[in-house]
Amino acid sequence: MKVLGIETSCDETGVAIYDTESTKIVSEQLYSQASKHAEYGGVVPELASRDHLKKLIPLIRLTVREAGLNLKEIDAVAYTSGPGLRGPLLIGASTAKSIALALNKPSVGIHHMEAHLLINLLENPAPSFPFLTLLISGGHCLLINAKSLGDYEILGQTLDDAVGEAFDKVAKILDLGYPGGPKIEELAKRGDPTAFQFPRPMTNKNNFDFSFSGLKTAVYYEFQNLKQINDSQKADLAASFQAAVSDTLLIKTREAMKQTGLKELVIGGGVASNKCIRNALITGLEGNKIYFPPINRCTDNGAMIAFAGSFYIKNAERTLGLDIKPRWPLSDLNNG
């Protein structure tokens, strides 16, 4: 069975085809709108919608052609139905449903964060349920006990900014541009991670929740104090901030592994592409099995939606009702 996956929840238009027989992504395309939003310092939802509208169909055509297929050979269409930006979600959902209806094939809405989690199962070796999951993206920071497909117990989450959001805001303070995560990572390579002593928020609390807003403010105050900041101080700020995030994620995750007794850790979401965070988790959790998606499948992509779609074909529909959910807690998913 060939599943076409469509991701449009934010500022990436992602399209891919997953083949359940070869268990491979046979073709994938990604178009990032990031440069369009850069001058505004963040995603402008209306611009995002218009760009998805322009790019999605050509990208689907290209993906199908590069797979050596005809659109009629697609067996099902999966799309992100939430959480995400309303307009972009509507464009993905309406395109997916229209294609499916025209082909008389089923379509299925996918939870974006579940797709970030499940994409790890495509790797070899793959984790097996139950496992602990750390999802770190622009909108979420979640520690989850993933018990089985569709059964996710949220152990902790951010009380304010998501991790990626904190990276983006700190990048704005340092005037690095958008999206901030990769820019901070790049600049931090030249900085000293011990130059500034930033807090490791909530690590003294006996729970698995996070809070990154205060850490971002701490960077802001140091930045203000420096007045005429030079490049090396900027790099030190970036490296020290990144080290504080890495330590915080490690401390919380290590404690969650201890308390749940889970021995496998699955990581997903855009921030999982950060090598400093990857290394901190690998080193600090030695003895446990840790799974990351390949770097290009950490940030939003169509492959994760096509692959997640293959698990949920049995839920697929043949209707045109647009069931998007811009706000959709992962714990609201019910089994299968």
Nearer to ligand KG4, 264 or 300 (CB): 300
Tell me if 164 contacts ligand KG4 by CB under 6 A.
yes
Quick one: how far is CA 160 from the chain centroid? 17
Which range in 132-140, 215-223, 317-325, 326-334 contacts Zn ion by CB under 5 A? 132-140
Among residues 137 and 248, whose Cβ is nearest to Zn ion?
137
Q: Of 146 and 316, which CB lies nearer to ligand KG4 in the complex structure?
A: 146
Per-position b or e across 310-325, b if 16+ CB within 10 A of its CB = bbbbeebeeeeeeebb
Stretch that binds ligand KG4, among 51-59, 133-141, 202-210, 280-288 (CB under 6 A): 133-141
Segment near ligand KG4 (CB under 6 A); pick from 71-79, 126-134, 159-167, 286-294: 159-167
Rule CB under 6 A: say whether 83 interacts with ligand KG4: no
C-alpha dihedral sign at 320, 333, 125, 303: positive
Q: Quick check: 138 binds ligand KG4 (CB under 6 A)? A: yes
Q: Does 300 bind ligand KG4 (CB under 6 A)?
A: yes
- 182 is a site residue for ligand KG4 (CB under 6 A): yes
Which of the stretches 92-100, 142-150, 180-188, 221-229 binds ligand KG4 when contact is defined by CB under 6 A?
Answer: 180-188
Single residue of 8, 137, 145, 233 touching ligand KG4 by CB under 6 A: 137
What is the closest distance, in whole angstroms, from the C-beta atom of residue 249 to ligand KG4 in the complex? 11
- Torsion angle (degrees, nearest 10) of CA 246, 301, 32, 322: -120
Q: How far is the CB of 116 from Zn ion (least distance, A)?
A: 6
From ligand KG4, Zn ion, none, which one binds at residue 167 (CB under 5 to 8 Å depending on kind)?
Answer: ligand KG4
